[in-house]
Structure 1
Amino acid sequence: MVLRVRGVVLPEREERSFWIDGDRLRTDPVPGAETVVDGGWLLPGLVDVHTHPGTERRDPTERGTDLFSDEVLRRHLTDHRDAGVLLVRTPGTAARIPDWVEHDPELPRVRSAGRWLATPGRFFPGFGRDVSEADLVRSAVEEAQASSGWCKVIGDWKYDQPAVPLELLVAVVEAVHAVGGRVAVHCQTAEGCRNAVLAGADSLEHGMHLDPGLLDRMAAQGTALVPTLGVFGAGEERRRAAEPSAARDQWLAGWAGLPPGVRAAHEAGVTVLAGTDSFPCGTVAGEVGWLVRAGLPVAAAVGAASWTARDWLGLPGLVDGGPADLVAYATDPTLDAAALAHPSRIILRGRVIA
């Protein structure tokens, strides 16, 4: 059965009709097609570019890949899908995403980065893949080649400990790029952010204490910023209530500077993307709201969780021959981002989900 959808396509803001043939969008009319969307606003499927499905984040002292299960992975991805999130990037998991996920027509498309790569003292021990600094380059290439072409390096950890050395991170990025891969770097300290940018990383995850003087370089070399504002904002009250300490003060200072830093990054031409890094899954609409509050124009914030993110991950938007992944809304989400939480129709791989 061929399906037909009609609506105002974003970001172009043009009314169009598409016919869905299999899992592809077509612009040539097909007589007798069943109309499943007739009016409203059409977005390419939503995207969460920083999510960790498959692992229930409970007590960090619970170590190892036993935290990861196919059952939890399917549940998390289903939660994403039911919220209109039809593409996710997983920058690090406790175990590699299994191959069956990409072939399941009921689940979102996944771009994975293999296991977190953590050098000594820079992550929860045993939670990802613990490697020595001497083995980091080789391990990064292995994870990129065993996943969707991404690897994730824990570039720093505690505020009073050194970040991964710049020369080592440069070697990681060069080696992974040489095999066609891309590098995401966790960074929450000024040194960690600096090293990630100077090394030419493809994305900074979090970006606390990011020096504004690095933004032009980020924009020029295509390093994206994934600030995960919502997960930090949710933890602010708990941090403020904690006993005074240098670590607490550093965190609060980093959080205070993050929203204005995100706005400055956007204004400098850096690609800012929406990632939740939190549970429950399927809440990227809330992250878009945080981006708006940080000062991004509403359309840019929506794009950070839709067309901009899909393009950055190598997928087209709503075009002839493109993937039949779309979400319809009764009202224009680029005027009010809160509309993202209320899709009227979800279509994944050419199948009507809701």
Structure 2
Amino acid sequence: MDQPISGSTSESVRANASRGRAVVLRVRGVVLPEREERSFWIDEDRLRTEPVPDAETVVDGGWLLPGLVDVHTHPGTEALDAPFSDDTLRRHLTDHRDAGVLLVRTPGSAARIPGWVHEDAELPRVHPGGRWLATPGRFLPGFGRDVSEAELARAAVEEATASSGWCKVVADWRYDEPALSVEVLTGVVRAVHAAGGRVAAHCQTAEGSRNAVLAGVDSLEHGMHLDPGLIDRMAAQGTAFVPTLAVFGAGAGARRSEEPSGRRDWWLAGWDALLPTVRAAHEAGVTVLAGTDSFPCGTVMSEVEWLARAGLPPETALGAASWTARSWLGLPGLTDGGPADLVAYDTDPTLPPSARAHPSRIILRGRVVA
């Protein structure tokens, strides 16, 4: 995790000057979610509140918020027949960055995120979650890491340890087949938590969502058939909800036009209940977060719009893709010593979607990228 640099701003600026580094930048605007006008000085990749003479002002007015966050995205491949590639990964992450998404969590991937991603100052910060972990028959064969139920807990610890502390378990797959049992998932959660990690669970069936919540997973991904009776338990134990509404919403029309079938009817029943469930989760105190699970990358604002449509207050929906997501991942917002990752808007981005179509300024790791 990033750590604040030591020493005062002035000391750091003098050190930078002696080494010929770039001038300190200044930004000013109304900070969200506090809605207070503030100025920050950007020293390397950190925000500072101590004024620096002769700093270059790059944002003067408008609205400031921490860089956008997509907590459920799978960069690196776009199709089942397309192998994971560094070129595709770079393109996807660049698309995120250009939309103001400066931090992504990848809960499951066809391959572990390579080290060069974390070293490239031009790319968003990445919180990887290792490879998808799936037991036989519960995922796309060979697309993640296939393990037996007996091996799952050990594999989950391995993936969490090799990533940012996260692992991703496919808790269910087909609507008409059993989900992973509570006992197996509980063993995974206990093992990963003992190692200091966290567990994300792919869940779309009622059984899979139930078992994942009862096992105490840290994030429920999708949750299409989540029983509202489990929401209070999620709030009490701190299980976050990442409903990925936009990707489901985009496919709803096509589903309705299909011939009736067990799968179609199951899918539509889950979709029709999902928005009310998301609203109920928010009202109960569950942390609801924005994740896209779709392509093209860089579309997290569409998820913000869906969260607002589900009934989250506009500012809460926006926070799900910014300050709330960062806090949940253990990162500060716009504060002294925090990472200099921010986006600026000319008008209040909690207003209708046109107000947040695209940031007027994007600053990543202390550098203006747009």
- Report the TM-score, using the length of structure 2 for normalisation: 0.93
- 1:196 aligned counterpart, secondary structure: helix
Query: What letter corresponds to residue 78 of structure 1 in structure 2?
Result: T
- 1:67 aligned counterpart, secondary structure: coil
Counterpart of 1:147? 163
Query: What letter corresponds to residue 271 of structure 1 in structure 2?
Result: T
Contact kept? 1:276, 1:283, Cα under 8 Å: yes
Query: What letter corresponds to residue 56 of structure 2 in structure 1?
Result: E
- 2:103 aligned counterpart, secondary structure: strand
Following superposition, the deviation at residue 201 of structure 1 comes to 0.3
Query: What letter corresponds to residue 232 of structure 1 in structure 2?
Result: F
Query: What letter corresponds to residue 97 of structure 1 in structure 2?
Result: I
Query: What letter corresponds to residue 196 of structure 2 in structure 1?
Result: G
| Structure 2 residue 20 is matched with structure 1 residue 15 | no
Specify every segment of 5 or more residues in structure 1 that has no aligned partner in the other structure, as ranges: none
Q: In structure 1, how many angstroms separate the alpha carbons of the residues matched to 2:216 and 2:115? A: 29
Q: In structure 2, how many angstroms separate the alpha carbons of the residues matched to 1:212 and 1:13? A: 33
| Structure 2 residue 122 is matched with structure 1 residue 106 | yes
2:226 aligned residue (203, 210, 227): 210
Counterpart of 1:233? 249
Contact kept? 1:173, 1:199, Cα under 8 Å: yes
1:39 aligned residue (61, 64, 70): 61
Query: What letter corresponds to residue 25 of structure 2 in structure 1?
Result: L
For residues 285-314 of structure 1, give each alpha carbon's deviation from its aligned partner in whole angstroms, at most 9, with x where no partner exists: 111001111111000000000000000011
Q: In structure 2, how many angstroms separate the alpha carbons of the residues matched to 1:68 and 1:204? A: 25
Counterpart of 2:325? 309
Following superposition, the deviation at residue 249 of structure 1 comes to 0.3
Query: What letter corresponds to residue 165 of structure 2 in structure 1?
Result: G
Query: What letter corresponds to residue 334 of structure 2 in structure 1?
Result: L
Counterpart of 2:209? 193
1:77 aligned residue (63, 71, 93): 93
Counterpart of 1:350? 366
- 1:87 aligned counterpart, secondary structure: strand
Q: In structure 2, how many angstroms separate the alpha carbons of the residues matched to 1:148 and 1:339? A: 34
CA distance 1:338–1:175, change in 2 (3 Å): farther
Counterpart of 2:20? none
- 1:73 aligned counterpart, secondary structure: helix
Following superposition, the deviation at residue 340 of structure 1 comes to 2.6
Q: In structure 1, how many angstroms separate the alpha carbons of the residues matched to 2:118 and 2:343? A: 20
Counterpart of 1:90? 106
Bigger mean CA deviation after superposition, 180-189 or 339-348: 339-348
Counterpart of 1:50? 72
Which portions of structure 1, spanning 4 or more consecutive aligned residues, are displaced by more than 6 angstroms? none
Counterpart of 1:246? 262
Size of the alignment, in residue pairs?
Answer: 348
Contact kept? 1:184, 1:202, Cα under 8 Å: yes
- 2:150 aligned counterpart, secondary structure: helix
Q: In structure 2, how many angstroms separate the alpha carbons of the residues matched to 1:182 and 1:29? A: 39
Contact kept? 1:285, 1:338, Cα under 8 Å: no
Q: In structure 1, how many angstroms separate the alpha carbons of the residues matched to 2:330 and 2:324? A: 10
Counterpart of 1:293? 309
1:138 aligned residue (154, 157, 165): 154
| Structure 2 residue 297 is matched with structure 1 residue 275 | no
Counterpart of 1:24? 46
| Structure 2 residue 352 is matched with structure 1 residue 336 | yes
Following superposition, the deviation at residue 324 of structure 1 comes to 0.2
Counterpart of 1:118? 134
Task: Quote the sequence identity (%).
Answer: 80
- Report the TM-score, using the length of structure 1 for normalisation: 0.97
For residues 185-216 of structure 1, give each alpha carbon's deviation from its aligned partner in whole angstroms, at most 9, with x where no partner exists: 00001110001111000000001111111111
- 2:159 aligned counterpart, secondary structure: helix
